[in-house]
Amino acid sequence: MLLPGVQPLVFGNLPADRCDFATARSAVLGAPYDGSIPTRGGTKDGPAAILLASQEMETYEIELDDDPSRLGIATLGMVEVDVDGPAAMAARVEAAIGPVADAGKLPVLLGGEHSVTVGAVRALADRYPDLSVLQLDAHGDLRDSYQGSRMSHACVMRRVLERCPAAGIGIRTLGDEERDLIRSGGAVVVRHDELRRDPSSIDRALARLSGHIYLTVDLDVLDPGIMPAVAFPEPGGLGWHETLAIARRVAERATIVGLDVVELAPGLGPPACSYAAAHLVYRLIGYATLLGPGRAPPPR
């Protein structure tokens, strides 16, 4: 029951007719978890910060010359945290994402630490046999185990590769184990320094992708000058427009069937970071629902 004059917190502060799950094209849910980050935590606060910041957005997107919210964006709340560890939390995310996909909606996951991505990918891999994953990230996240856990945030892409093909773009720090995996051909990564020297190197990552893509964006892929509010900032990184250009290119060539934006730690940076994260989520929803081969959005 809603009290008179009281409105629930919905992504984008959308009116009721644009956030009804029955008619919405997309559905946003949060995974407020940071159980495998021992230091510089706070990513558990990221989903709520993104939702709150989104209240101030204009829904018309200049670049798209369109309003993605006209296709409907439902807000489903937060996945209940499981304190048994990242494996248990990933299982809860998987159980939440599956019904969203079955209802024909685009699942949009707000993290939380990056380990929550594993649950979403597992859910969609069960429904799309040709699923592939594109990772935008400062870190490889390709360790087999980290600090005794195979489900740590530092292992997320290793676990993803056990289910489907994947490629990473923007990587600028790796461990020896991750380097060796990439050199052996076990993982496809376009490092940030490669991308700066040769923008066409992105084609190596895109060639790895299928017609159905899950897009995962760790906000530390961005330059810390733009996005300091992350648990593990790395010098350098992608710019705002560079990141959007990569995402748009992917959306234009394939169907994005799910996406996430993770690792916002709002307490580690200025409020502008939460607003940037909210705008990024909304732009990615626009790309996923309005662009792409064979996609014919309703007329305005």
Cis peptide preceding 211, ω within 30 of 0 = no
* Residues 170-209 pLDDT 10s: 999 999 999 999 999 999 999 999 999 999 999 999 999 9
Whole-number Å distance between alpha carbons of 95 and 151: 17
* 217 and 157 Cβ atoms separated by less than 8 Å: no
Phi-psi domain of 42 (left: phi exceeds 0; alpha: psi -120 through 50; beta: other): left
β-pair partners for 37: none
pLDDT tens by residue, 230-268: 999 999 999 999 999 999 999 999 999 999 999 999 999
Residue located via tokens 């956030």: 19
pLDDT single digits (tens) 53-110: 999 999 999 999 999 999 999 999 999 999 999 999 999 999 999 999 999 999 999 9
pLDDT bin (cut points 50, 70, 90) of residue 31 is: very high
For residue 113, what pLDDT band results from cuts at 50, 70 and 90?
very high
pTM: 0.95
pLDDT of 287 strictly over 80: yes
- Look at residues 270, 261, 280, 222 and name the one whose alpha carbon lies nearest to residue 43: 261
Distance of CA 199 to the CA centre of its chain: 22
How far apart (Å, rounded) are the C-alpha atoms in residues 70 and 297? 10
Tokens of 49: 């910060």
Query: pLDDT by residue (tens digit) across 131-176?
Result: 999 999 999 999 998 888 888 999 999 999 999 999 999 999 999 9
pLDDT of residue 2: 57
Q: Which of 297, 286, 275, 214 is nearest to 51 (CA)?
A: 275
pLDDT at 300: 55
Helix (H, G, I), strand (E, B) or coil at 37: coil
Residue-range domain boundaries for the chain: 11-290
For the domain 11-290, what is the CATH superfamily, name and number?
Ureohydrolase domain (3.40.800.10)
Q: What backbone torsions phi and psi does residue 129 show, to the nearest 5 degrees?
A: -60, -25
